[in-house]
Chains A and B, each alone.
Chain A
């Protein structure tokens, strides 16, 4: 039906205004996504993720899915990126450039990504070469239409989803409060010990702090050291508590 209606549509060589806008926003989105996965600065990766997710919201608007576009802006740009930034902050991610943001298998990863991209683009373009979306008529994703289909046909999945969100909320709280069970003083004590450790051992940072700005690299070096120490010291302390 749709195919018959759009059979007389012009091809690639005469794009419509919506197509040009989609292409430009898509290029910006893709560029932001590429910077997100390649930048060496962790906080910048989160901020470029905002650009990529916002670009996808604009694509939803161009596809006449208005409600989903605003949900995207509210949830992804508004809360998920903030949550990621909090996570970066709480794990004491280095602010400046970190040379070890990529692991050793990045070339294998690049090969896998390029190969799958080539295969999928080939398949998708070959499959949908003669298919056009008819964007005329009333918007299919307006808030009125979304409310109608969501609360008329999808009520039960919607409620199940709210239960799942509640379970995830409780699970996240339980997971992040787990350390408090064996005494809060123990936790603080260990954190203080870690800080003193970092202050007391500036010499161990030399191997990491060779390149670039000194401060952030030195900080990172202590992270690694403190990490392995904490990992070894902690279980012993836990056992003492239990006995």
Chain B
């Protein structure tokens, strides 16, 4: 078999996962896209292991390790997502702006912006928070 087939398929799967990680809003969908990226890497490892006919079979061993680490990653990731959901009631990654460490997160637009700015980017800035000066205190509470 031509080596380009598995290599190109792995590249395309990886870029599909990359798109999903960047474009998805729900944290669990982001985790699914990460799984796709890991699978693309696994496919590459297996293909190159079979091509090189390695005596140690390093590629296949590393694939097994990657699968196990992916299982651990998805367990921890889901636990984190559930903890975030319980604390904040949402698992949308771009609504968690108040967890950022920047100064910009503290100057939030006030609550009126939420009603009309439904679909655009202003939505992600946690516009539901009451007032801008309270943002800092709230952040301190949330991290306490």
Greatest chain B CB density within 10 A among A91, A116, A145 is at A91
Q: How large is the interface on B (under 10, 10 to 19, 20 to 34, 35 or more residues)?
A: 35 or more
Note all chain B residues with C-beta closer than 8 A to A7.
none
Note all chain A residues with C-beta closer than 8 A to B53.
2, 134, 140
Q: CB within 8 Å of B: which of A160-174? A: 161, 164-165, 167-169, 171-173
Nearest-neighbour CB distance to chain B for A71, whole angstroms, equals 6
Cβ of B75 and Cβ of A45 under 8 Å apart? no
Q: Does B76 contact A (CB under 8 A)?
A: yes
Cβ of B67 and Cβ of A223 under 8 Å apart? no
Note all chain B residues with C-beta closer than 8 A to A199.
none
Q: How large is the interface on A (under 10, 10 to 19, 20 to 34, 35 or more residues)?
A: 35 or more
Map CB proximity to B onto A38-78 as digits: 1 under 8 Å, 0 otherwise: 00001001100100110010011011110110011001100
Cβ of B46 and Cβ of A141 under 8 Å apart? yes
Q: CB within 8 Å of A: which of B72-117? A: 72-76, 78-83, 85-95, 115
Cβ of A30 and Cβ of B72 under 8 Å apart? no
Cβ of B76 and Cβ of A175 under 8 Å apart? yes
Q: Tell me the complex Cα distance, A94–B19, Å.
A: 22
Map CB proximity to B onto A135-150 as digits: 1 under 8 Å, 0 otherwise: 1000011000110011
User: Per a CB cutoff under 8 Å, which of B19, B39, B47, B71 touches A63?
Assistant: B47
Q: Tell me the complex Cα distance, A98–B12, Å.
A: 26
Task: State the main secondary structure of chain B at its contact with A.
Answer: helix
Note all chain A residues with C-beta closer than 8 A to B75.
83, 168-169, 172
Closest chain B residue, CB of each to CB of A117: B15
Nearest-neighbour CB distance to chain B for A37, whole angstroms, equals 3
Nearest-neighbour CB distance to chain B for A137, whole angstroms, equals 9
Cβ of A228 and Cβ of B51 under 8 Å apart? no
Note all chain A residues with C-beta closer than 8 A to B31.
84, 87
Closest chain B residue, CB of each to CB of A160: B65
Closest chain B residue, CB of each to CB of A131: B3
Q: Tell me the complex Cα distance, A68–B142, Å.
A: 44
Q: Which 6 A-B pairs have the closest CB atoms?
A: A227-B89, A109-B22, A37-B20, A168-B72, A235-B141, A113-B19
